Structures are given as structure tokens and as C-alpha cells.
Homo-oligomer: A and B are copies of this chain.
């Protein structure tokens, strides 16, 4: 299997991207590192299971997505997606300009036929079981039928990639009752409830996202993005308060020292790098969207996650679920 990696995308590119890719590469998973050979080759240093693919251009974070993709066909991001389109790679990962990556993916990897809107699906580190949230930003506005497709795609992801048996789907709203939320959400509730192919729980609220009430939560890309970033911000703020508390006195410092390994485990559990990347679901091949701030550990996990998606037959399962 081969995973194409945009070596120039993200705040820590190319060093952290290359390092993470090397850590994930194995005999079963060849990494195609796409970027400027002169910059990347010294970082690779002849490591095994890694191949360089030259791409002289780079799309930066601030560029307008569609223009950037059109005007830079030789950028690392566009070349990486093209490798998938041409069958030279089985999946693609980038931590660069998200809008541009979505545009490049739509243009060359392309949607599965019948998929109305691809959606970005994020694994939330809820306990005891992870929860999938989609869409977290590909579509600021959605129609009820889009949410129904998201429910099927998320269910397929939960069962095929995460091994959840009979995943349960919730609809994000602002109250448990079917009548709560915007008219679109209320209409979506009725549509989801009437679909015999789904195990629909009903509405869930923001507080349920991290408590494993359901396996999959569907929402529009605006609310989903707000929820995801709010959860990350809140977890970060609380860990910051705990860290601060540990420094307040000699007693607290000693307590903190004794607790350190346990607190590090907590931090790792809520770390966005744990899953490394979100999946753009509804495409013909796995497309993995990394955080701009991805470090080597995040990239390593993302590339492995891409491999898992390919091996699990995620794309075929989504096509089946949607009856395509």
C-alpha cells in the first residue's frame, strides 16, 4: 500500500512532516513524500519504504483555495492528490491549507458517485469509546438529506475503521426533543428517524460529544467546527489550569511530581494529535486532513490511520451504505 504525503503542508513542514512519515513507513506501507527534493532529501537520509516525488511549488496557508489549486498544478498538495487519482497512491494526507486541500481532493480524487457532499469526519477522544463528529468544516451549510448521508458515512467509518458493531447515530441540536433546533435540524431529525438503515438515537447536545452517548454525531460544518475547536480549547484551558495549580506551592509541586506520569497520560488522551487527521468522507479514496499545527507524532498517526482506512475497505463500505 502507498500513502501520498504533502511534505510541504502545515506550520511545521517539511521537517515534522517528513519525520512523522518516516516513523509510519513500513514494509506494508510505502510513503510517497511529495515536495521539493532539495529540502526533503536531506531529511529522509535514505530511509527505507519512502519514495520522493518532486513538486516544485507550495500552496501556503493564506492563499484563496480554488485559485491556488488552479494556478499551482505543480504544488506538493495538488501533485499528492493527483498520485491518488492516477492510481499511484491509495490515500493522501496533507496538513496544509484545508480549503485548498478539499478543492484539490474534489478535483482529482473526486467524490463517490451519488455522494452529495463530502464531509470532514473527526474522531473525538471521548471515553470509554471514541465518538465521530461530522461535518467539522467542509460545508458551512447543509440540507437534511446531506445530514442523512453523513449519518451513513459516519456509521460505515465507525464499523469498518473503528470496529464498532452496530454504531448509533445522534443529531447535534440544542435540546433532546425532536422539535428543538433550526427548521433544517428538525427536518433532519424526521429524515434520520425514518431511515431503516440507520440506528438513530435522536438529538444529542454539546455536552454529549465527549461522553460516548453515541458513536457518530452528525451536524453542519459550522456547528461541527465550532464544537470541535471549543472542545479542544476547553481541554487545553483546563489542562493549563491544572498545570498552573501544580506550581503554586511546595506541597503542590511535590503532588504534581508524583502525579506527573498520570497527568501526561491525561494530556495524551485529549491531544488532537492522537488521531493525527480527520477523514474527508465520500471520496473515491481516503483523503486525510491534518491540523495545520501537526507535529511528527500527529503525522505518524495520520499516515497509519490512512493505511487503516485503505485496509479496512472504508470507501467500499461507504458506497454500500449509501446504496450506490
Q: Which residues of A contact B (CB under 8 A)?
A: 126-127, 137, 140-141, 172-174, 181-183, 185, 205-211, 219, 221-223, 225-242, 245-246, 248-249, 251-252, 254-260, 262-263, 265-266, 269-270
Q: Report if A259-B266 is in contact (Cβ < 8 Å); known contacts: A181-B222, A234-B210.
A: no
List, in ascending order, chain B residues with CB within 8 A of A219's CB.
226
List, in ascending order, chain B residues with CB within 8 A of A259's CB.
245-246, 252, 255-256, 259
A231's partner among B141, B172, B230, B256 (CB-CB below 8 A) is B230
List, in ascending order, chain B residues with CB within 8 A of A210's CB.
230, 233-234, 236-237
Are B225 and A226 in contact, with the CB atoms below 8 A? no
Q: How many copies does the complex hold?
A: 2
The 18 sampled A-B contact pairs (Cβ below 8 Å) are A137-B174, A173-B222, A174-B226, A181-B222, A205-B226, A206-B225, A206-B226, A207-B232, A210-B233, A226-B226, A231-B233, A235-B238, A237-B270, A242-B242, A246-B259, A255-B255, A255-B262, A259-B259
Starting from the known contacts A141-B183, A206-B229, A259-B259, 20 additional A-B residue pairs (CB-CB under 8 Å) come to: A126-B237, A127-B237, A140-B174, A140-B182, A141-B182, A174-B222, A207-B229, A210-B236, A222-B223, A223-B226, A226-B226, A231-B234, A235-B235, A235-B237, A235-B238, A238-B270, A241-B270, A251-B258, A252-B258, A256-B259
A172's partner among B140, B226, B256, B269 (CB-CB below 8 A) is B226
Are B233 and A208 in contact, with the CB atoms below 8 A? yes
Interface SS of chain A: helix
Are A235 and B234 in contact, with the CB atoms below 8 A? yes
Identity of the chain B residue whose Cβ is nearest the Cβ of A126 in the assembled complex: B237
With the chains together, A262 CA to B256 CA distance in Å? 10
A241's partner among B127, B233, B240 (CB-CB below 8 A) is B127
With the chains together, A232 CA to B235 CA distance in Å? 10
A238's partner among B205, B234, B246 (CB-CB below 8 A) is B234
With the chains together, A97 CA to B291 CA distance in Å? 40
Q: Chain B CB within 10 Å — which of A221, A240, A252 has the most?
A: A252
10 closest Cβ contacts across the A-B interface? A255-B258, A206-B229, A207-B233, A206-B230, A255-B259, A245-B262, A234-B234, A174-B225, A210-B237, A231-B234
List, in ascending order, chain B residues with CB within 8 A of A221's CB.
174
With the chains together, A223 CA to B228 CA distance in Å? 12
Q: Chain B CB within 10 Å — which of A232, A235, A270 has the most?
A: A235
With the chains together, A270 CA to B206 CA distance in Å? 16
CB distance from A138 to the nearest CB of B (A): 10
Q: Report if A230-B207 is in contact (Cβ < 8 Å); known contacts: A141-B182, A182-B140, A266-B245.
A: yes
